[in-house]
Every structure is written in structure tokens, then in C-alpha cells.
Amino acid sequence: MVKEGYSKINKVKFALAIATIFAALVLILTLIAIIEPFGHHPNTVALISIIYGEIGYTPTFLGALLGTFYTFIDTFILAWIFAWFYNKLID
């Protein structure tokens, strides 16, 4: 029974929504970094490079696709776990 005033989260829909937003942000940031005026600024994609640099991410078009894929998968898993945990808390 769900506590009054709370609703359960659909885990898959929630995870898809959050993962899509974060993956799109990584794609946009990487594509901005590829553009010449921003491309040489070290902070543009520094965090993404720290996280995914060891598994092939670079500020290139292929790197943008890889970073988007990795971000989608990681964020989907984390958001699904968050929704599962939230649903357990309100039961």
C-alpha cells in the first residue's frame, strides 16, 4: 500500500526520461567543444573526459557518440535504481 499523498514511479519511463536528458546534454556539450572557438578550452568537456576518457571518449564526433551512449547507459541504470529505491520507501 502506497503512503497517502505519494505515487509510485514507473521505473523504466523515469529512467528513460532522465537518461535521454543527460545523454543529450553530453552530446550537445561535446559538439560545442568540437566547434573551433570552444574546442581549445580545457574545461568544456573535462568532467566527461575524466569519467569516460579511459574507454574511448574524446572531443570528436565519434567521441560524442560514444560519450552519449555511455552516459545513456550509466544514467539509465542509476535512475532506475533511484526509482526502485523511492518506490520501496513509499510502500
* pLDDT values of the chain reduced to their tens digit, one per residue, 91 residues: 677 888 999 999 999 999 999 999 888 888 877 776 655 566 666 666 666 766 667 777 888 888 889 899 999 999 999 999 999 998 8
What is the pLDDT at residue 44?
63
Asked, for residue 4, whether it belongs to a domain, the answer is no
Write down the pTM of the prediction: 0.80
Q: String of b and e for 23-35 (b: at least 16 CB within 10 Å)?
A: beebbebbebbee
Asked, for residue 2, whether it belongs to a domain, the answer is no
Domain enclosing residue 37, as ranges = 11-90
Tally the domains of the chain: 1
CB 6 within 8 A of CB 32: no
Asked, for residue 60, whether it belongs to a domain, the answer is yes
How many CB atoms within 10 Å of residue 67?
27
Asked, for residue 3, whether it belongs to a domain, the answer is no
Distance separating alpha carbons of residues 23 and 88, to the nearest angstrom = 27
Asked, for residue 52, whether it belongs to a domain, the answer is yes
CB 63 within 8 A of CB 33: no
What is the pLDDT at residue 21?
97
